[in-house]
Amino acid sequence: MKLSEEEKTELRASAQSAELRDDLMRVAQSRVNSLVVNGQVDMDRLLTFLDECNTFFGHLRKPFCPMIDQDMRL
């Protein structure tokens, strides 16, 4: 997709906007990662999130199948 000269000029002008930079900085500062607790990823929250994503996409959850191999090498 090629941009017209008018679109290029508009993008350059908005990139130099101090107001836009300040707004985006405020958005970045108020961002919250709900999966991280005390600087570490909370696995319970992550698994709940992934289960919800699978439900949303219509994927069925696979039943837990324990590994029974005695000699596992990489």
pLDDT tens digits, one per residue of 24-61: 999 999 888 888 889 899 999 999 999 888 888 887 77
Alpha-carbon distance of 33 to 49, in angstroms, equals 12
pTM value is 0.44
Amino acid 15: pLDDT = 85
Burial 23-41 (b: 16+ CB within 10 A, else e): eeeeeeeeeeeeeeeeeee
Q: What ranges make up the beta strands (E) of the chain?
A: 36-37, 40-41
Report d(CA 16, CA 12) in Å as an integer: 6
Domain boundaries, the chain: 32-60
